[in-house]
Amino acid sequence: MKEREIFSQLRVFPPFAVRIDGRGFKRALELLELEKPYDEKFAHAMADSVESFFRESGLNPLFAFTFSDEISLFFNEIPYNNRIEKIDSIIPGFISSALTIQLNLKTPVSFDSRVILLGKEDIYRYLLWRQAETWRNHVSSYGYYTLLKTGLTENEAASRLRNMKASAIHELVFRHGINLAETPGWQRCGILIYRETYEKTGYDPVKKIEVKTQRTKIVQEWNIPIFKSEEGRKLVERLTS
């Protein structure tokens, strides 16, 4: 029957991204009574799950970007002979399990997964796209929950929102005391997770000299620039180089 595993030879050539998205998280998270539209505890659980992926999966992503219930991971190399079935199963499997631990969930959750073929120069464009989605999601989520607060049903709020321009949503939310230009940076721009190399100075007691060693640490950056800006472009250049 081995020959029936007809997708097992599908391969991807690096660099590439993997984007996973929480399946049915609107309902799955309801039991947790998270703050709406954004819950810092949930965002920490997502970012910490990614951090544990960096530490414990044995895979070596260049960096990752997350907002809401989605995570994009970028790779320059991957084991398993670059097989897509492995990539698309192990990564969402690991993160589902990590998030279950982080949130101490009693019911299982899952993530869907897709592989995105990227040339090195496409990574920046991909990030511009996902960060634009972060911003759109931020505006519409605040709009949606503000409309619910005014007494509309979920269906009414969703259909009202579809007919509103972004500027009208800003005004509506502003009238309810929230300035969308001043919400926390992670809600507007997303969160980056990456490995950083730093130099540590230690003391060699045998040679009785100071020694410098290269160490790496995993950084969660909750205050990232807009990728479209010069600062953002340089940051992406650093992460991909």
Q: Contact positions toward Mg ion, by CB under 5 A?
A: 21-22, 25, 69
Residue 113 as a binder of ligand GTP (CB under 6 A): the answer is: no
Stretch that binds ligand GTP, among 17-25, 83-91, 146-154, 156-164 (CB under 6 A): 17-25
Residue 122 as a binder of ligand GTP (CB under 6 A): the answer is: no
Residue 29 as a binder of ligand GTP (CB under 6 A): the answer is: yes
Stretch that binds ligand GTP, among 30-38, 74-82, 189-197, 202-210 (CB under 6 A): 30-38
Annotate each residue in 39-58 with x if it binds ligand GTP (CB under 6 A) or - if it does not, as one string: x--x----------------
Report the residue from 2, 4, 6, 26 that binds ligand GTP according to the rule CB under 6 A.
26
- Three-state SS for the chain is CHHHCCCCCCECCCCEEEEEEECCHHHHCHHHCCCCCCCHHHHHHHHHHHHHHHHHCCCCCCEEEEECCEEEEEECCCCHHHEHHHHHHHHHHHHHHHHHHHCCCCCCCCEEEEEEECCCCHHHHHHHHHHHHHHHHHHHHHHHHHHHHCCCCHHHHHHHHHCCCHHHHHHHHHHCCCCCCCCCHHHHHCEEEEEEEEEEEEEECCCCEEEEEEEEEEEEECCCCCCCCHHHHHHHHHHHC
Site for ligand GTP in 69-108 (CB under 6 A): 69
Residue 111 as a binder of ligand GTP (CB under 6 A): the answer is: no
Minimal distance, residue 19 CB to Mg ion, in Å? 11
Residue 21 as a binder of ligand GTP (CB under 6 A): the answer is: yes
Q: Summarize as ranges the residues that interact with ligand GTP (CB under 6 A).
A: 21-26, 29, 34, 36-39, 42, 68-69
